[in-house]
Structure 1
Amino acid sequence: MSEVLYPQESVYNLIPKERVQTQKPQRYMSKFRPSVVLEKKLTKEAMKTMGPPKVEVPSPEKYLKKHSKEPKLPESEFSNRLFYQYVCKTCSMKKPAVPARTDNPPMGIYTKRDFIKTSTAMPMKPQPTCVDTNKGHKERLENSGLVPKYIKKRDYGEVPDYLLQRNAEEQRAKEEYDRFVKEQTDQGAMKHLSDEERHAILERLKSNWDKLHHEYQGLSLVTDTLSKKAHKERLEVAMKQLENDINLFERFKTVYLSNN
């Protein structure tokens, strides 16, 4: 019978209730557990060390010699007898004496080696080739474009005619410009800026560009009115003009000003 639940302020809650203790069933234990534990110990104890714990230490006198593991054929009496006869024969033969310095060499003896020397000509040198595919296709190296044939030309390493002509024209134009500048300077129509004046003008141009750039950085990001847009465009045009002037003064070291 299920327990009846009453409200918290009910009178029935004052009656003491008996607590029923539930007993858990005993945990299941397999009857094969001891045999499994024993089997695991037997298989695991053998793997605790790398090999058996006690190993016979090899003796330093029994080291591995060269060709000791190669198969050897059994020695026969016939082979030993032939080797002995060959050694005795070669040792008993007497070599001819060394010819004296005054002895003339034998003439008229025609051997096979002399025939090879006289009959064969100089060997042909192989043609240099290059292989350009993985199938083995090859062609002569001279026609492959890898040989620098241009270094064998007569005019190799010389300056081309069009470059000489261009250099001559540039030199002539420079001389004419220098002559014109000299004439204008002599007439007093042009004035040459010194290096100090050029550096001073360059520094003033850069300082003016820095001021405009600082003012440009302080503009608002949103140009929602015509005045803001016009002011921004005016600053950009002025900065661009200053950049061109700075590049002009940095590019040319010699600057002339007209007196007009």
Structure 2
Amino acid sequence: MSAMYPAESIYNLIPKEEVTVQKPPRYTSKFREQVKQDTKKNKAANRTMGPAKVEVPSPEKFLLKHSKEPQLPEKKPFTRKDDGRRKPQVPTKTDYPVMGIQTNTNFINSNAIENIMAVPKKPQHVYVDTRTGNKQPLETSGLVPKYVKKKDYGQTPEYLLQRNKEVKRAQQEYDDYVKERLRQGAMQQLSEEQRQTLLEGLKKNWGELHHQYQGLSVVTDTTPKKNRKERLESEMKQLERDIDHIERHKIIYIANN
């Protein structure tokens, strides 16, 4: 109205009603309480600021000078390992020898007799390994035949004798078992002719499979080609194992049943 009429219009004297704008209610999430609970779970009391009340240090326990410096352990008297075997110390100038001791021993004669009867020392066996004369003890060099002088030198050790006995006993038990089975007719031994015939037949079969294997396609791009190649390889390996087994064993037994 004020825009339509001038400021001095009589219509401006009429009081106007105040229009109040109704705001919509504020949005509140339905997960508000759940978020509050989850936030409180991850918080702990006194985590960052420390406890609310701290024990005040006593004035009597003040920091002393040099109290935080590292302290060395207590000194212990040093003792050498050979204290009991060491020679006595050299007497000082204030130590006087014991006077008044007399002896009738003739030290000249006793020393002479002791040296005459003494066994001469044997020189230490050494070897020189350099041209400048560097010496090494011969005992620990491995050049001295010490093991040849042992009582059991050249004899078979006891554990080998025991093992040989066990091998012989096991072989004897196996031979007895084979003889018993042959006597009962449950097994028979292949002759040399049968063994050679069997060996030639296996080699012939291997040759035929090898000829087929050589005729395969170089490119195995299909499943049937791959399967056939793997089958031929497995059969050839089995024949090779059988041929090697028969060639290594001269005596072969087969069961009658």
Output the TM-score relative to the length of structure 2.
0.50
Per-residue deviation at 1:128?
4.0
3-state secondary structure, aligned to 1:143: coil
Residue 131 (structure 2) pairs with residue 152 (structure 1):
no
- Partner AA of 2:158 in structure 1: D
Query: CA distance change for structure 1 residues 133 and 218 in 2, over 3 Å: closer, same or farther?
Result: farther
- 2:235 counterpart (234, 238, 247): 238
3-state secondary structure, aligned to 2:155: coil
- 2:172 counterpart (172, 175, 181): 175
Residue 181 (structure 2) pairs with residue 184 (structure 1):
yes
- The two structures, once aligned, show a CA RMSD in angstroms of 2.2
- Partner AA of 2:223 in structure 1: L
3-state secondary structure, aligned to 2:220: coil
Per-residue deviation at 1:132?
4.0
- 2:215 counterpart (211, 215, 218): 218
Per-residue deviation at 1:148?
2.5
Q: How does 1:18-37 map to 2 (within 5 A)?
A: none
- Partner AA of 1:246 in structure 2: I
- Map Cα deviations across residues 168-188 of structure 1 (whole Å, 9 max, x no partner): 111111110011111111111
- Partner AA of 2:248 in structure 1: R
- Map Cα deviations across residues 82-111 of structure 1 (whole Å, 9 max, x no partner): xxxxxxxxxxxxxxxxxxxxxxxxxxxxxx
- 1:199 counterpart (168, 173, 196): 196
Per-residue deviation at 1:127?
4.6
Query: CA distance change for structure 1 residues 231 and 146 in 2, over 3 Å: closer, same or farther?
Result: same
3-state secondary structure, aligned to 2:139: helix
- Partner AA of 2:164 in structure 1: N
Segments of 5+ residues of structure 2 without an aligned counterpart are 1-119
Per-residue deviation at 1:200?
0.6
- Partner AA of 1:241 in structure 2: Q
- Partner AA of 1:250 in structure 2: E
Cα distance in 2 for residues equivalent to 1:129 and 1:139 = 5
How many residue pairs match? The answer is 139
Per-residue deviation at 1:129?
2.1
Larger % of helix: which?
Answer: 1
Q: How does 1:1-260 map to 2 (within 5 A)?
A: 127-132=124-129, 136-260=133-257
Query: CA distance change for structure 1 residues 217 and 131 in 2, over 3 Å: closer, same or farther?
Result: farther
Cα distance in 2 for residues equivalent to 1:150 and 1:174 = 35
Output the TM-score relative to the length of structure 1.
0.50
3-state secondary structure, aligned to 2:188: strand
Cα distance in 2 for residues equivalent to 1:226 and 1:135 = 78
Per-residue deviation at 1:137?
2.9
Cα distance in 1 for residues equivalent to 2:158 and 2:175 = 26
Between the aligned residues of both structures, percent identity stands at: 62
- Map Cα deviations across residues 134-181 of structure 1 (whole Å, 9 max, x no partner): 764311212212222111111110111111111111111111001111
Query: CA distance change for structure 1 residues 134 and 245 in 2, over 3 Å: closer, same or farther?
Result: same
Cα distance in 2 for residues equivalent to 1:208 and 1:166 = 42
3-state secondary structure, aligned to 1:142: coil
Query: CA distance change for structure 1 residues 222 and 149 in 2, over 3 Å: closer, same or farther?
Result: same
Per-residue deviation at 1:212?
1.1
- Residue in structure 1 matched with residue 28 of structure 2 by the alignment: none
- Map Cα deviations across residues 193-237 of structure 1 (whole Å, 9 max, x no partner): 101100110111111111111221222222111111111110111
- Residue in structure 2 matched with residue 108 of structure 1 by the alignment: none
Which deviates more, 123-132 or 203-212? 123-132
